[in-house]
Amino acid sequence: LKTEVIAIADEILKGMVINSNSTFISACLGKMGVKVDRHTVFPDDFAILKQAFTDALHRSDLVICTGGLGPTLDDLTRSVAAELFSSPFIFNEEIANDLIRRYGPSLTSLQDQATVPEKAVILQNSIGTAPGFLFEEKGKMLALLPGVPLEMEAMLQDALIPILRQKLPDQIGYHSERLYFCHLKETALDPTLRLIQKQYPSIDLGIYPGYGTLLVALRSNPLDLSAAKEQITAAFPTYVFTSSSGKIEDALIDLLRSDKKTVCFAESCTGGLLSHKIASIPGASDVLLGSFVTYSNKLKQDVLKVSKSSIDQQGSVSAQVVQEIAVSGIAGPSGGTKDKPVGTVWAAIGGKDSAAEVFKLNLRGNRQIIMLTTATELLGSLYRKIRYGIDLSKGF
Amino acid sequence: LKTEVIAIADEILKGMVINSNSTFISACLGKMGVKVDRHTVFPDDFAILKQAFTDALHRSDLVICTGGLGPTLDDLTRSVAAELFSSPFIFNEEIANDLIRRYGPSLTSLQDQATVPEKAVILQNSIGTAPGFLFEEKGKMLALLPGVPLEMEAMLQDALIPILRQKLPDQIGYHSERLYFCHLKETALDPTLRLIQKQYPSIDLGIYPGYGTLLVALRSNPLDLSAAKEQITAAFPTYVFTSSSGKIEDALIDLLRSDKKTVCFAESCTGGLLSHKIASIPGASDVLLGSFVTYSNKLKQDVLKVSKSSIDQQGSVSAQVVQEIAVSGIAGPSGGTKDKPVGTVWAAIGGKDSAAEVFKLNLRGNRQIIMLTTATELLGSLYRKIRYGIDLSKGF
| pLDDT over 80 at A230, yes or no | yes
CB–CB contact A27 B14 (8 Å): yes
- Put simply, whether A94 touches B (Cβ < 8 Å) is no
What single-letter amino acid sits at A284? A
**CA angle (A366, A369, A371) in 5-degree steps:** 105
**Among the ranges given (A181-185, A367-371, B325-329), the one the predictor scored with the smallest mean pLDDT:** B325-329
Residues 325-354 of A with CB under 8 A from B: 332-334
Q: Find out whether A374 and A364 touch, Cβ atoms under 8 Å.
A: no
pLDDT of residue A72: 56
- How many CB atoms are closer than 10 A to CB B102? 13
CB–CB contact A208 B334 (8 Å): no
pLDDT of residue A145: 96
The mean pLDDT value for A258-268 works out to 94
- Put simply, whether A280 touches B (Cβ < 8 Å) is yes
Nearest of B386, B380, B349 to residue B258 by alpha carbon: B386
Which pairing describes strands B288-294 and A288-294: parallel, antiparallel, or unpaired?
Answer: antiparallel
Q: Find out whether A363 and B272 touch, Cβ atoms under 8 Å.
A: no
CB–CB contact B272 A291 (8 Å): yes
DSSP annotation of A156: I
Alpha carbon distance B224, B390 (integer Å): 31
Q: Which residues of B touch A152 (CB under 8 A)?
A: none
pLDDT in tens, A188-210: 998 999 999 999 998 888 787 78
**Among the ranges given (A161-165, A314-318, B50-54, B234-238), the one the predictor scored with the smallest mean pLDDT:** A314-318
| pLDDT over 60 at A74, yes or no | no
pLDDT of residue A316: 80
- How many CB atoms are closer than 10 A to CB A79? 15
Alpha carbon distance A331, A343 (integer Å): 6
Residues comprising chain B, all counted: 396
pLDDT of residue A325: 67
Nearest of B333, B359, B356 to residue B347 by alpha carbon: B359
Q: What is the mean pLDDT of each run of 10 residues along chain B (396 residues)?
A: 94 89 92 89 94 96 91 73 94 93 84 91 90 95 93 93 82 73 91 94 83 87 91 96 92 96 94 96 94 92 87 82 75 82 88 85 84 94 95 85
CB–CB contact B29 A16 (8 Å): no
Nearest to A206 among B11, B28, B365 (CB): B11
Q: Find out whether B188 and B171 touch, Cβ atoms under 8 Å.
A: no
Mutation choice for B interface testing from A10, A41, A207, A316 by most B CBs within 10 A: A41
Nearest to A17 among B23, B28, B109 (CB): B23
Q: Bigger pLDDT: A17 or B145?
A: B145
Q: Which residues of B touch A189 (CB under 8 A)?
A: none
Alpha carbon distance B314, B182 (integer Å): 30
Alpha carbon distance A146, A74 (integer Å): 13
Q: Bigger pLDDT: A377 or A340?
A: A377
Q: How far is B353 from chain A (nearest CA, A)?
A: 20
H helices within B236-366, ranges in order? 248-258, 273-279, 297-302, 308-314, 319-322
Residues 202-221 of A with CB under 8 A from B: 205-209, 215, 217
- Put simply, whether B66 touches A (Cβ < 8 Å) is no
Is the complex ipTM higher than 0.90?
Answer: no
CB–CB contact B272 A282 (8 Å): no
CB–CB contact A280 B369 (8 Å): no
Alpha carbon distance A343, B87 (integer Å): 40
Nearest of A378, A394, A390 to residue A238 by alpha carbon: A390
- If you count residue pairs, one on A and one on B, with CB atoms under 8 Å apart, how many are there? 277
- Put simply, whether A246 touches B (Cβ < 8 Å) is yes
The three-state secondary structure class of B135 is: strand
Backbone angles phi and psi of A57, in degrees to 5:
-75, -25
Alpha carbon distance B238, B256 (integer Å): 17
Nearest to A290 among B72, B186, B296 (CB): B296
- Confirm whether pTM is higher than 0.80: no
pLDDT of residue A169: 64
CB–CB contact B73 A367 (8 Å): no
Backbone angles phi and psi of B290, in degrees to 5:
160, -160
| pLDDT over 70 at A24, yes or no | yes
Q: Find out whether A116 and A133 touch, Cβ atoms under 8 Å.
A: yes
pLDDT in tens, B310-363: 888 888 888 877 776 677 888 777 888 888 888 889 999 988 877 888 999 988
pLDDT in tens, A94-147: 999 999 988 888 888 888 889 999 999 999 998 888 899 999 999 999 999 999
CB–CB contact B40 A35 (8 Å): no
- Put simply, whether A17 touches B (Cβ < 8 Å) is yes
